[in-house]
C-alpha cells in the first residue's frame, strides 16, 4: 500500500503504532543477552596477535617503480612528478 506522507496524520493511528512498537521491544528473556558472548567474534584494534601467522608474499620493488621521498610509498614511474635538487623523487599526489 502506498503511503501519502503529505496527508494529515490521524492521532489514533500514531498511538496504536507506538503501542505495537512498545510490545515488540519488550524482552521475553529467551534471547542471549550476554555481551561478552556477542563480542567474542569481533577483532579489536591493538589486540594481541603474536600467536598468529602472517602469510604475506613480499614482492621486491620493480625497475619501473620508485619510493616517494615525501610519503615513502612505492609508486609506478608514471606517478613521478619531479625529482628534488638532491635527486629525491616526489610523486604527483605529494606534489599537488
Each residue of 55-87: pLDDT tens digit?
888 899 999 999 999 999 999 999 999 999 999
Q: Output 35 or 31, whichever has higher pLDDT.
A: 35
Domains of the chain and any CATH numbers: 60-95 (3.30.60.130)
Residue 52: DSSP 8-state: -
Q: pLDDT grade, residue 27 (50/70/90)?
A: low
pTM for this entry:
0.44
The whole-angstrom separation of Cα 22 and Cα 18 is 6
**Beta-ladder partners of 82:** 90
Q: Output 93 or 53, whichever has higher pLDDT.
A: 93
The whole-angstrom separation of Cα 55 and Cα 13 is 59
Quick one: pLDDT at residue 8?
A: 76
Answer yes or no: is pLDDT of 26 > 70.
Answer: no
| Cell numbers at 89, concatenated | 623523487
**Mean pLDDT of the 18-28 span:** 65
Element at 13 (helix H, strand E): helix 11-25
C-beta of residue 82 within 8 angstroms of C-beta of residue 95 = yes
The whole-angstrom separation of Cα 88 and Cα 96 is 16
**Mean pLDDT of the 30-39 span:** 65
Element at 90 (helix H, strand E): strand 89-91
**What's the whole-number average pLDDT of the chain?**
80
Amino acid at each position: 500500500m502506498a503511503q501519502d506522507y503529505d496527508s494529515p496524520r490521524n492521532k489514533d493511528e500514531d498511538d496504536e503504532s507506538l503501542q505495537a512498537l512498545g510490545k515488540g521491544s519488550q524482552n521475553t528473556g529467551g534471547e542471549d543477552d550476554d555481551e561478552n558472548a556477542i563480542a567474542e567474534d569481533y577483532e579489536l584494534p591493538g589486540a594481541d596477535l603474536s600467536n598468529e601467522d602472517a602469510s604475506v608474499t613480499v614482492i621486491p620493488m620493480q625497475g619501473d617503480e620508485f619510493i616517494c621521498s615525501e610519503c615513502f610509498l612505492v609508486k609506478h614511474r608514471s606517478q613521478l612528478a619531479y625529482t628534488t635538487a638532491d635527486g629525491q623523487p616526489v610523486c604527483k599526489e605529494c606534489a599537488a
